[in-house]
């Protein structure tokens, strides 16, 4: 298999991951069964999956009731994930970096060095002012835990709606959902990645489709084009096609990542 041979020949690996990786690992925003378990009050209102809540305007108590449970489940779980753990084993002792649009912290929670992970879309582990009145962001675990503690499962609402420590206004998680996003916390990792890239890099792109191609898919193609010795492996269940100009240096694997890295 070419992936195995290319891995054997690689000293430097860039893992580039989109939502498909976390979905394969069990964090699927379209999972209706898990949604019904976690959000019975929202289920009674006719909602069926987490993706329906993205950008949905809700009263603050219900909004933070949802996000408290959601982030508590997807970002602050303590158990290792077998798909991410296997991926870490596959990379092994090779010099590596991670670029991901995922905001769930699963790389750092499964053995990848936190300072070698760039998350340009943000991280559920931090929050910010919605205005924003400041460029400062803060760890979100305290407000998530408070929202969970104040949550009424029968209504889905929480009594602990957070506010900005500076201006007292509304806050949200420090993720890219609009022009108010403050990316400053993540920029140093992006600079470290740019300094780390070298001609011999093997890029393993996993689960990055067409919803936000400018974040993962297009940038890694440009990296491989710019570095004559670089190679790209694209693992994607639905969109595994690779550019024709990268023939001989790009491998398309149309499969679920869990099937490829077992």
DSSP string, 201-224: EEEEEES--SSSTTTTHHHHHHHH
The pLDDT of residue 2 is 85
Written as six digits, the tokens of 152 are 């009424």
Average pLDDT estimate for 49-64:
94
CATH for the 1-26+81-120+183-262 domain, from 3.40.1280.10, 3.40.50.1980, 3.40.50.1220, 2.30.30.90 = 3.40.50.1220
The pLDDT of residue 134 is 98
The pLDDT of residue 1 is 58
The pLDDT of residue 178 is 95
Kindly report, residue by residue over 106-116, the tens digit of the pLDDT: 999 999 999 99
Written as six digits, the tokens of 113 are 């060095």
Rounded-to-integer distance, Cα 86 and Cα 92, Å? 10
Each residue of 187-216: b (16+ CB within 10 Å) or e? Answer: eebeeebeeebeeebbbbbbbbbeeeeebb
Rounded-to-integer distance, Cα 136 and Cα 127, Å? 9
Whether 68 contacts 161, CB under 8 Å: no
Average pLDDT estimate for 37-44:
96
Q: How confident is the model at residue 261 (pLDDT cuts 50, 70, 90)?
A: confident
Q: How confident is the model at residue 15 (pLDDT cuts 50, 70, 90)?
A: very high
Average pLDDT estimate for 40-62:
94
Task: List CB contacts of 191: < 8 A, sequence separation 6 or more.
Answer: none
Cα dihedral 102, 104, 110, 112 sign: positive
Kindly report, residue by residue over 131-146, the tens digit of the pLDDT: 999 999 999 999 999 9
Fold of 28-80+124-182: SIR2/SIRT2 'Small Domain' (3.30.1600)
Does residue 262 register a pLDDT over 80? no
CB atoms within 10 A of CB 41: 17
Please tell me what DSSP assigns to residue 140: S
Rounded-to-integer distance, Cα 233 and Cα 23, Å? 19
Of 103, 105, 87, nearest to 13 by C-alpha is 87
Whether 101 contacts 18, CB under 8 Å: yes
Rounded-to-integer distance, Cα 124 and Cα 67, Å? 10
The pLDDT of residue 55 is 87
Kindly report, residue by residue over 208-241, the tens digit of the pLDDT: 999 899 999 999 999 999 999 999 999 999 999 9
Task: List CB contacts of 59: < 8 A, sequence separation 6 or more.
Answer: 157
Q: How confident is the model at residue 192 (pLDDT cuts 50, 70, 90)?
A: very high
Q: Where do the structural domains in the chain lie, given as residue ranges?
A: 1-26+81-120+183-262, 28-80+124-182
Does residue 77 register a pLDDT over 90? no
Rounded-to-integer distance, Cα 61 and Cα 122, Å? 23
Q: How confident is the model at residue 258 (pLDDT cuts 50, 70, 90)?
A: confident
Average model confidence (pLDDT) across the chain: 95
Rounded-to-integer distance, Cα 257 and Cα 240, Å? 11
């Amino acid at each position: 298999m070419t992936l195995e041979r290319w891995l054997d020949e690689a000293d430097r690996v860039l893992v580039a991951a989109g939502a498909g990786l976390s979905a394969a690992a069990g964090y699927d925003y379209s999972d209706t069964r898990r949604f019904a378990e976690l959000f019975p009050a929202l289920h009674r209102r006719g909602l069926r999956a987490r993706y329906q809540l993205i950008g949905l305007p809700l009263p603050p108590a219900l909004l933070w009731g949802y996000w408290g449970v959601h982030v508590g489940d997807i970002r602050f779980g303590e158990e290792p994930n077998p798909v991410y753990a296997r991926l870490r084993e596959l990379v092994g002792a090779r010099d590596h970096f991670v670029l991901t649009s995922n905001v769930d912290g699963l790389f750092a929670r499964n053995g990848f060095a936190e300072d070698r992970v760039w998350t340009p879309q943000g991280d559920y582990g931090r929050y910010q002012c919605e205005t924003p009145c400041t460029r400062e962001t803060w760890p979100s675990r305290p407000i998530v835990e408070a929202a969970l503690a104040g949550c009424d499962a029968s209504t889905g609402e929480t009594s602990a709606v957070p506010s900005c420590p500076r201006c007292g206004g509304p806050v949200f998680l420090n993720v890219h959902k609009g022009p108010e996003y403050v990316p400053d916390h993540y920029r140093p990792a992006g600079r470290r990645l740019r300094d780390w890239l070298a001609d011999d890099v093997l890029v393993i792109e996993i689960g990055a489709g067409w919803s936000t191609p400018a974040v993962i898919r297009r940038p890694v193609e440009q990296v491989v084009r710019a570095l004559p010795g670089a190679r790209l492996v694209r693992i994607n269940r639905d969109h595994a096609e690779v550019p024709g100009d990268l023939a001989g240096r790009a491998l398309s694997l149309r499969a679920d990542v869990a099937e490829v890295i077992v």
